Amino acid sequence: MSKATTSDWQAAAAKEVKGRDLTWHTPEGFAIKPLYTGEDSAGIDPGLPGFAPFTRGVRASMYAGRPWTIRQYAGFSTAEESNAFYRRNLAAGQKGLSVAFDLATHRGYDSDHPRVVGDVGKAGVAIDTVEDMKILFDGIPLDQMSVSMTMNGAVIPILAFFIVAGEEQGVAQAQLDGTIQNDILKEFMVRNTYIYPPEPSMRIVSDIIAYTSANMPKFNSISISGYHMHEAGATAVQELAFTIADGKEYVRRAMASGLDIDAFAGRLSFFFGIGMNFFMEVAKLRAARTLWHRVMDGLGAKDERSKMLRTHCQTSGVSLQEQDPYNNVIRTTVEAMAAVLGGTQSLHTNALDEAIALPTDFSARIARNTQIVLAEETGITRVVDPLGGSHYVEALTQMLVDDAWAIIGEVDAAGGMTAYVASGKPKAAIEEAAAARQARVDRGEDVIVGVNKYRLADEALLDTLEVDNHAVREAQIARINAVKAARDGAACQAALDALAAGANGSDNLLALAVEAARARATLGEISAAMETAFGRYGTTPTPVRGIYGPAYDGDDRYAQVLAGVEAVTRRLGRTPRLLVAKMGQDGHDRGANVIASAFADMGFDVTSGPLFQTPEETVVLALESGVDVVGASSLAAGHKTLIPELVHRLREAGRSDIKVIAGGVIPPQDYDFLRDAGVQGIYGPGSNIVECAADVLRLLGHNMPPLEA
């Protein structure tokens, strides 16, 4: 019998599926075939692990020699609480620390600042002074522990505090091991926890690279992050291209400041998000290494270590669901396997309850043990790059390389990533991808088990961790006051003056901040000293239009909503008006932008408020805009403080007629609290936006028909 051919397979498959087209069109624009053969991988040579272009891994032995580092991202409440959590996790098998800071810290505010009343200790640990940093690492020897810190806005004071905390532990700067994120370009694209405008922010990046290269040879000066692009809705191609282009820009800036590329490039690292498209995520990490080698070779790097892309990964937060939440354990496991089979150097696995709250000890243990089981029980670590040579994986890797490289070329033509970010193009592209994804989920085209298919009739409440924001803030204020009372005020002010002068000049800002930290200057004071020279940066969102609506062309329920908007318009004599408000210091704006985009497509007059508003500022904007509804977006657990304050201030202004609704990461057990406070609609993760709009129309007095079963 002759050997079967591809044509034979095509005929057999077509017969089995009765001619149905099995091609899968991905969000990246790839037409994925149902079968890949040697013809698809012909001419593709990924090389060998440990050798250029490092497609198959940056180490020859990879996990066969040493497994990846289990580096769980955590921080909440006070430094004391976070320290206790870290020590429990380290005792249970975690190998490295990854610190989450609260939003007040990210944005350069001390805990006593009036703008951060609802943010202190809620989505990370509050760090105001060196004393907080010393407590955070109490009993954790910094000469033996690798520490990753996710910090970009207030990166100068946080790194200065870390250095001084190490010194006062008896650890020299040269012994400190770890990573500071220090990736400000992606903040301007997606995460928005910036403080200063782009150009001085880029100077800060360069100053940190220069200082650490000279004084901290074991410390990674930057972690170039695609993770937050992934979470904002970027496709794999977008995440790849923009992340690699960001890295290229940082290297160019450092070289322009006089640094030798091979003196610092080996201490750069990357950070990618890992989603549910298993093979795409495996291929993405392989493609990233290929692309970085190409970029660094082009920039003139000679040392092969300079051309190696080393990366941390984190399983997706946006794939976690409030509904049927134990499915999140499965999702995280699949994503963790993709990261490992893609060749990550370290990994954080999200906990099952992180769709709605900070992880409990119980959920954090499952998340951590997911990695331990993969490392110890599966045999995955026995073979280097076990998916290498897969026709599908090799072809997919090449597709990603080719399409991402084309975008990197577009960035170069625009003058580099700083200029490209300023144009707004990458942010708009990611928002378009996010809106398109939401439409596919809402229509049921992208299945999410337990959300838009196989949904439970009744959901049991999860036990969630809640931080007493008021108690944490009071404790932080007391410690700030104690530090200020005990310090040499004149010496502290002199150090702050020197920092302000350096910001206006060219002295290294981190070196000056270390002196200020030794003198016990606070995080807010150090940030403010630089702000006198740089100013504070702010933007107003401009969500994309025309992406969500076309996906619903011909849909009966969508047509009902459009008719409802028209009916309300006739009754009011104008289009119904919605203000999408982002209060507090949380800059994650995916949800808010998707809502604004979708509601605008459905005919609402939508105002997107500036980021980082107070409830008082939101009320002023609501009255100025003449809105009917304020939609408060909450992602950082400030909802029990900020949203009731918003309702209260609207009532004080005599406008209790303005409806307040809330959406985002809100535990169901908080719904009654918010309703009692006057919130009239609550829409958690997994909510269908068309049905949200239908509900808003009912709030506005329209007799909206119910959704037919």
Q: Which residues are catalytic?
A: 73, 227-228, 582, 586, 588
Q: How far is CA 227 from the centre of its chain?
A: 5
Closest listed residue to residue 28, CA positions, set 310, 248, 283, 290: 283
Give the separation between CA 624 and CA 576, rounded to whole angstroms: 15
Q: Are 259 and 213 in contact (CB under 8 A)?
A: yes
Alpha-carbon distance of 268 to 504, in angstroms, equals: 27
Residues 6+ apart with CB under 8 A from 656: 650, 678
Residue 272 in tokens: 């990618």
What burial class does residue 121 get, using C-beta atoms within 10 Å of its C-beta: 0-12 exposed, 13-18 middle, 19+ buried?
buried
Would you call 93 exposed, middle or buried from its count of C-beta atoms within 10 A (0-12, 13-18, 19+)?
Answer: middle
User: Please, which residues have CB within 8 angstroms of residue 709's CB and are 6 or more apart in sequence?
Assistant: none
Quick one: which H or E segment has residue 278?
helix 278-298
Token pair for residue 222? 């930057």
Do 692 and 633 meet the contact criterion of CB atoms below 8 Å apart? no
Q: How far apart are CA 222 and CA 216, in angstroms?
A: 13
How many angstroms separate the CA atoms of 262 and 251, rounded? 10
User: Contact, 575 vs 604, CB < 8 A?
Assistant: yes
Burial class of 214 by CB neighbour count within 10 A (0 to 12, 13 to 18, 19+): middle
Written as six digits, the tokens of 4 are: 């079967």
The answer to whether 356 and 79 have CB atoms below 8 angstroms apart is no
Core vs surface per residue 43-54: b (16+ CB within 10 A) or e: eeebeebbeebb
The closest alpha carbon to 401, from 46, 134, 670, belongs to: 46
